[in-house]
Amino acid sequence: MNIPYTVEARPDTGLHNGKLGVWLFLASEVMLFGALFSTYILLRVGAPEWPHGELSVALGTVNTIILISSSVTMVMAWATLKLNQWSRHRVYLSLTFLLALVFLINKYFEYKEHLEAGQGPWHDTFFAIYFTLTGLHGLHILGGMIVMAYLLGPGAKLWRKNPDQFTNRIEITGLYWHFVDLVWIFLFPVLYLL
Amino acid sequence: MHSDPAEVHKSVRSYLIVFGALLVCTLLTVAANRLQFAVPLAITIALIIATVKGSMVAGVFMHLSHEKQAIYGALLLTLVFFIVLLFVPILTVMDRVRL
């Protein structure tokens, strides 16, 4: 049995089901991170003083550049499929995966440094919200990497069988990945700079 | 695959332009932070730049600048609830003041 509307658009929405599904998922993600940003505001407004300079701006900037670059390689992975350039697509998707890995490695060293200095989530309100927000974001990075690994590995077979459906899968993976980048774009100034 | 290569190449150009703009905005955010403005002004500047960057990612990379009506509808509803969610802390602060 074929699942309908995996490639062709539904007549009522004008979208294939995967794309609509991912956008609805992203809407729920906005509410999830929105709740945590809201918590951040509440904690910050209620705190008699808020720490500054606790985090490495240089490392945060590098990670921001890494995630922005990964968004570009992700969108290029989709565009090269549209141009039927399979090997280039593989390069771009692999690059996205590697950039995500570098981001997490940086985060590991950052966490390690703070934990060794006794600045865990228990240390104060700032570190509690810092670890909560960046930890949840890190889990999203990991989730994206698992999907990319699947699309680079066993999931890549679909390209031969149904290239349009594979391209759609890359597109919706990209939507998720750009959202993860977008969340970091707000996390960086809020946690590292302000 | 049914894609006009010229259209895709045009999109690729816009992705690269946005990439450059995002890098510049990131450096601007860090530079503005070094100037050490007063906290309310620093927050305003940082959030304006972050919003510009976020709009570029959503508009160009996520193709929101030319999406279907169904997605705009879902996102509009999300935006309304998101704003309500952000105002909840402000309501609690007002509550505390009244006490």
- The secondary structure element, H or E, covering residue B71 is helix B69-98
Q: What is the pLDDT of residue B4?
A: 83
Residue B64 pLDDT class (50, 70, 90 cuts): very high
Taking CA–CA distances from A59, the nearest residue in chain B reads B30
Type of residue found at A180:
V
Is the alpha carbon torsion for B95, A33, B72, B77 positive or negative?
A: negative
**Chain B residues with CB-CB distance to A181 below 8 A:** 57, 61
Q: What is the pLDDT of residue A5?
A: 87
A76-85, B2-11, B53-62: least confidently modelled range: B2-11
For chain B positions 61-90, those within 8 Å of chain A (CB to CB) are: 61-62, 68-71, 74-75, 77-78, 81-82, 85-86, 88-90
Whether chain B has a CB inside 8 Å of the CB on A143: the answer is no
The second-level CATH assignment, the architecture, of A17-42+56-193 is: Up-down Bundle (1.20)
Contact B86 A178 (CB under 8 A): no
Alpha carbons B57 and A182: distance in angstroms, whole number: 7
A149-169 pLDDT tens trace: 999 999 999 999 999 999 999
A3-12, A28-37, A70-79, B24-33: least confidently modelled range: A3-12
| Token pair for A158 | 């679909």
ipTM, 2 dp: 0.92
Q: What is the pLDDT of residue B1?
A: 47
Which residue in the set A27, A42, A79 is minimally distant from B74, CB to CB? A27
Give me the residue label for tokens 């089901």.
A17
Q: ∠B35-A37-A32 over CA atoms, to 5°? A: 145
Residue A135 pLDDT class (50, 70, 90 cuts): very high
Closest approach of A47 to chain B, Cα-based (Å)? 12
Which residue in the set B16, B26, B46 is minimally distant from A61, CB to CB? B26
Q: What are phi and psi of A42, to 5 degrees?
A: -60, -45
Stated pTM of the model = 0.93
Whether chain B has a CB inside 8 Å of the CB on A68: the answer is yes
Alpha carbons A39 and A33: distance in angstroms, whole number: 10
Q: What is the pLDDT of residue B96?
A: 60
- Domains of chain A, by residue range, sit at 17-42+56-193
Residue A7 pLDDT class (50, 70, 90 cuts): confident
Q: What is the pLDDT of residue A2?
A: 77
